[in-house]
Amino acid sequence: MSESAVSAVGHDELAALKFVALEGARSGPVKISCSDLAGRLDASNQTASRRLQRLEQAGHVDRDVVADGQWVSLTESGEAALHREYAHYRRIFEGTDPSTVELDGTITSGMGEGRHYISLSGYMEQFEERLGYEPFPGTLNVDLDEESVRSRAAVSSLSGVPIDGWEDEERTFGPATCYAATVEYDGDAAETAHIIVPERTHHDETQLEVIAPVRLRDALGLEDGDVVTVSVEAVR
């Protein structure tokens, strides 16, 4: 079991993250010198270095420290953090919230664990109450294409439906967030569906899991290898 690091960073760290992204760290490692960063942030070298360390601890950047600086790249979580800021600025200047994020990917089989988790009453009761339906037991796994892995960062700026963690006598079960979505394939669409993002998962950002009241493989005639479009919506 892997657990994603959820660690908030403050405005000072976000300013450092923005600087690193402006230097080009979104498309790969860039060389950053702490004195350049310090100058830009109007802070001491030591403070600049500490901000990069915090960003690394929060999982927002990967770093490789060398003699004359460090190679820094943005992670998916770093990109998601900047996307949230971006959504705020769009709201300020354009009066709009990004309302739909379109993601493309290939249907794939997973580890057969989705069925187990979705069926647990601790989750099922919340799905019925908060999503308005009892999901088919399982998650439809979609292997996102490269561009969609990047666009996925925008999903965290949409409003999701929280599913709380819970526990039984033996163990704890992690929380998850659901986002309303439509799944399209070959001219057909399943309009009642949600993507589910469990906080604890074996999958990384390249894999999307979809739940729906029906077995989507039957409803849309899907097989492994088929390419679908999942449109994730802000509210429904």
Ligand X SMILES: Cc1cc2nc3c(=O)[nH]c(=O)nc-3n(C[C@H](O)[C@H](O)[C@H](O)COP(=O)(O)O)c2cc1C
Asked if 141 touches Mg ion (CB under 5 A), the answer is: yes
What is the footprint of ligand CDP within residues 98-137 (CB under 6 A)?
109-112, 114-115, 136
Q: In the chain, where does DSSP find H-type helix? A: 11-20, 34-41, 45-57, 76-94, 114-119, 121-131, 146-151, 216-220
The DSSP secondary-structure symbol of 202 reads S
- Nearest approach, Cβ of residue 112 and ligand X (Å): 5
Instruction: Please report whether residue 122 would count as binding ligand X according to CB under 6 A.
Output: no
Query: Binding pattern to ligand CDP, positions 197-236, x when CB under 6 A?
Result: --------------xx--xxx-------------------
Considering the complex, state which of residue 77 and residue 139 has its C-beta at the smaller distance from ligand X: 139
Please state at what angle helix 45-57 crosses helix 34-41, rounded to 10 degrees.
100
Q: Which one of Mg ion, ligand CDP, ligand X, none interacts with residue 200, CB within 5 to 8 A by kind?
A: ligand X
Amino acid, single-letter form, for residue 212: A
Name the minimum Å distance from CB 13 to ligand CDP. 36
**Smaller CB separation from Mg ion, 76 or 209:** 209
Q: Is 95 exposed, middle or buried (0-12, 13-18, 19+ CB in 10 A)?
A: exposed
64 vs 191 by CB, closer to ligand CDP: 191
**Is 236 marked within a binding site?**
no
The interface mask with ligand X, positions 188-217, x = CB under 6 A, is: --------x-x-xxxx-----x--------
Calculate the alpha carbon distances from 100 to 8, 89, 152 in Å.
25, 17, 11
From residue 173, alpha-carbon distances to 1, 52, 84, 137 in Å are 12, 32, 27, 17
Is the CB of residue 52 less than 8 Å from the CB of residue 72? yes
174 binds ligand X (CB under 6 A): yes
Phi, psi of 225 (to 5 degrees): 100, -20
**What is the binding site for ligand CDP (CB under 6 A)?**
109-112, 114-115, 136, 138-141, 211-212, 215-217
**What is the binding site for ligand X (CB under 6 A)?**
1, 110-114, 117-118, 123, 139, 141, 173-174, 176, 196, 198, 200-203, 209
